[in-house]
Amino acid sequence: MSLPNVTRSTARAAFRAATKQVAQKQAVRSFAVAAGAAARPALRAAPAAPVMQKRGVKTIDFAGTEEKVYERADWPLEKLHDYFKNDTFALLGYGSQGHGQGLNLRDNGLNVIVGVRKGGHSWKEAIEDGWVEGKNLFPIEEAAQKGTILMNLLSDAAQSETWPELQKFITKGKTLYFSHGFSVVYKEQTGVIPPKDVDVILAAPKGSGRTVRSLFVEGRGINSSIAVHQDVTGKALERATAMGIAIGSGYLYETTFEKEVYSDLYGERGCLMGGIQGMFKAQYDVLRENGHSPSEAFNETCEEALMSLYPLVGENGMDYMYNACSLTARRGALDWAPKFEEANKPVFRELYKSVRDGSETKRTLEFASQKNYRELYQEETDKISAQEMWRVGHKVRALRPDRK
């Protein structure tokens, strides 16, 4: 029993088909369509509709700490169009974030162009998504020259590699935008030091670029953080906020470049990806060692978590999920949670230290500097897909009633 090889292109194709299907099921129009079409009739209307919320910028007490939150209602589409009427968004890179943010900007009726290596894989994917060479699709250098807001969404390693050439296009009056603090914070290793006469801002969606796109198409909107590294004009925070909404966010909260990259690298290595894979694998293996069947081990480890319990946590919180379960389950979870916390905290402390001292950055840049790094990554992810747990998962997911 084996899985098909899931490549970036097949994943992108599946995602494109899924978002198209979601869009066709939407009963509401995109909040970008009416104003976007009127402002720029040549641009494609959004496939679906983020619904405007009757809320605005506010200060909220988060468990005793007051924080300012910005919402979509603060920046209605007409205001975005007026604010960015003289700007050209040069989106450099068309990976996960470039794809999601670029399409959302385009569907919001804003003037956005894409810059990628001509003839490369991303160039072909951009064409598949409707970007047109010479109109809104250009080589990186040409797009950077044309843009007033340079959105550096190249991979972290590529940002370091291209910086010597790219920096000459970052001239006074332009804005330099990132969605990750990596290159700027770890400048000693990346060499990315922005010029002193431009605003440097960040809007970082709290999810993959595919989620940035799918939540926009569904009429919702991902939550994102915003930050200012350099404020030359005195309006950098305002511009970061407007950018965050323009790329499809539902609400925004403030952070710093440093805190964004520390929390991001820490989180994806921990509970978001690395930790959850390790926990799933350990629980599955112990069940199998004790004679449980593959399907039972997977259902009790992954399927129930992902399809039943985690959605409850996402919608209503852990306390709600506990109260929604049996007394037996609740008693056991309450007893064992502190033990898992005690066992895991030393690992998390080690992880955070490794992120903050630059060890994780060094590892990433050294690995990505290898010419065959993509193949090496694929080998490692192929090993995960070859694990019995995920081969079983492929079969279990196919049995879900909503799957054809």
Binding residues for Mg(2+): 264, 268, 300, 304
Sign (positive/negative) of CA torsion 124, 129, 135, 139? negative
Element (H, E) at 71: strand 65-71
Other C-beta atoms closer than 10 Å to the C-beta of 55 total 12
Residue positions counted in the chain: 404
CA gap 112, 101 in Å, rounded: 10
Determine which one of 81, 99, 121, 180 is catalytic: 180
The tokens for 305 are 């978590």
Nearest to 176 by CA among 154, 201, 155: 201
Question: Is 99 assigned a catalytic role?
Answer: no
Region of residue 292 (phi > 0: left; psi between -120 and 50: alpha; otherwise: beta): beta
Residue type, 127: I
Task: Name 133's bridge partners.
Answer: 137
DSSP per-residue string spanning 239-307: HHHHHHHHTTEEEEEE--HHHHHHHHHHHHHTTTTHHHHHHHHHHHHHHHHTT--HHHHHIIIIIHIII
Q: Which residues are annotated as a binding site for substrate?
A: 326
Upper half-sphere CA count for residue 140 (Cβ side, 13 Å): 23
Residue type, 124: K
**CA distances in angstroms from 300 to 100, 287, 293, 318, 396, listed in the order given:** 34, 9, 11, 18, 12
Residue holding tokens 């895991």? Answer: 344
CA gap 186, 258 in Å, rounded: 9
Residue type, 283: Q
Element (H, E) at 390: helix 388-398
Q: Which residues are annotated as a binding site?
A: 264, 268, 300, 304, 326
The tokens for 113 are 């162009």
DSSP per-residue string spanning 338-349: HHHHHHHHHHHH
CA gap 237, 230 in Å, rounded: 10
Active site residues: 180
